[in-house]
């Protein structure tokens, strides 16, 4: 007896189904990669923003550390600057921190007014005080190096004893 096998012609539906599934999985994988790439860029931008703010705040803190950066015997509006453009009466701000070397920073100290400050309490022996009111601006700009830009403006009062 002869054993005859019947050979059927394949229609290729399994191959087409497999290719469609493979294309769908590839598209899902590419979408995930793109989403991850965007999230990485967003977190990098957030990091640059925070770093720029911290640098600008550090500039303000460094200005406050050196009392010669504040000119008390000038008229209201007198502005002392570092690396700033127009509107400066002097350019004598001194920052001693090495972290600012080669970094795009600017600083301004503007004398707003000299006048009576609030009375000091908590056992202070001064009965009358004057204060010099300043506005300090610290700016960090490293956008050319993709590292962000930020500006911090802070008030500062220097107490000037006038009597006891």
Task: Give alpha helix (H) positions in the chain.
Answer: 13-65
The residue with tokens 């469609």 is 20
22-26, 34-38, 74-78, 135-139: which range is least confident on average?
34-38
State the Cα–Cα distance between residues 134 and 113, nearest whole angstrom. Answer: 7
Contacts of range 85-92, beta carbons closer than 8 Å, 24 or more positions apart: 92/68
Tell which wins on pLDDT, 160 or 137.
Answer: 137
Q: Is 72 exposed, middle or buried (0-12, 13-18, 19+ CB in 10 A)?
A: middle
Q: pTM for this one?
A: 0.71
pLDDT tens digits for 33-84? 888 888 888 888 888 889 999 999 999 999 999 889 999 888 999 999 998 7
Distances (CA, A) of 101 to 17, 104, 105, 106, 127: 63, 9, 9, 12, 43
pLDDT tens digits for 146-158? 888 999 999 998 8
């Amino acid at each position: 007896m002869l054993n005859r096998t019947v050979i059927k012609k394949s229609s290729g539906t399994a191959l087409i189904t497999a290719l469609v599934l493979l294309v769908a999985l590839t598209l899902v994988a590419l979408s995930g990669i793109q989403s991850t790439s965007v999230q990485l860029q967003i977190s990098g931008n957030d990091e640059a923003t925070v770093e720029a703010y911290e640098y600008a705040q550090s500039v303000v803190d460094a200005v406050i550390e050196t009392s010669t950066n504040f000119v008390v015997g000038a008229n209201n509006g007198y502005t002392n600057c570092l690396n700033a453009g127009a509107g400066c009466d002097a350019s004598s701000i001194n920052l001693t921190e090495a972290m600012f070397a080669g970094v795009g920073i600017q600083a301004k100290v503007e004398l707003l007014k000299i006048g009576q400050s609030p009375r000091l309490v908590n056992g202070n022996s001064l009965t009358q005080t004057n204060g010099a009111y300043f506005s300090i601006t610290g700016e960090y700009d490293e956008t050319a190096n993709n590292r962000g830009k930020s500006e911090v403006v802070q008030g500062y009062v220097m107490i000037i004893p006038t009597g006891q």
